[in-house]
């Protein structure tokens, strides 16, 4: 069983999309019993309990993916409950690494979603202050990252 937690800042734009896309990939391959998948934000306090941003819901819907997540903040318990803490950008990676370090846990359980892809820029940019086009770009990047992550976890 792989326990994967996708992490961004607010848990309303990028990480709920990553959760939806990854869940879609594993269910297409009938692998849902081998995975526990969730998402959260390092700064959940602004958006706690909210549905994903309408622009994330739209781009997911356009790709036949339904997002069911409600925003929540990363907890200390998550650090030990999940074996992979997959983060969207370097700012949030640093936040998670600092928290792991503070609790004497291995920082090797966290990585950037795009780390092992061929993409030059390893970050999924924050789309919040942009337009729908930005969400479409983010969707493409997350799709690439999730496909690579699933290959890496199933070989
Ligand atoms: P996310 O995007 O981290 O991908 O969920 C953001 C959502 C909200 C804010 C920033 C980024 N905000 O500043 O409220």
pLDDT tens sequence across 84-112? 999 999 999 999 999 999 999 999 999 99
Helix (H) or strand (E) holding 51: none
Q: Which residue has the tokens 């594993």?
A: 26
Query: Do residues 117 and 86 make contact, with C-beta atoms less than 8 angstroms apart?
Result: no
Model pTM above 0.75: yes
Report pLDDT for 37.
Answer: 98
Look at the alpha carbons of 77, 9, 86, 36 in this order and tell me if their dihedral is positive or negative. Answer: positive
Instruction: Give the residue, by CA position, lying nearest to ligand 1 atom 12.
Output: 10
Alpha-carbon span 85 to 65, nearest angstrom: 22
3-state helix, strand, coil in the chain (%, to 5): 50, 15, 35
128 close to ligand 1 (CB < 6 Angstrom): yes
Q: Is 146 a catalytic residue?
A: no
In this structure, what token pair is assigned to residue 107? Answer: 């920082």
């Amino acid at each position: 069983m792989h326990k994967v937690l996708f992490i961004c800042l607010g848990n309303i734009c990028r990480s709920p999309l990553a959760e939806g896309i990854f869940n879609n990939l594993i269910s297409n391959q009938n692998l849902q019993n081998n995975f526990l998948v969730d998402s959260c934000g390092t700064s959940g306090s602004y958006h706690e309990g909210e549905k994903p941003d309408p622009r994330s819901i739209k781009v997911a819907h356009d790709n036949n993916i339904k997002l069911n997540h409600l925003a929540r903040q990363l907890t200390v318990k998550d650090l030990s409950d999940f074996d992979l803490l997959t983060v969207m950008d370097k700012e949030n990676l640093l936040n998670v690494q600092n928290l792991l370090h503070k609790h004497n846990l291995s920082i090797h359980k966290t990585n950037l979603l795009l780390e092992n892809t061929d993409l030059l820029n390893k970050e999924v940019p924050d789309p919040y202050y942009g337009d729908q086009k930005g969400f479409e770009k983010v969707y493409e990047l997350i799709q690439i990252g999730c496909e690579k992550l699933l290959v890496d976890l199933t070989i």
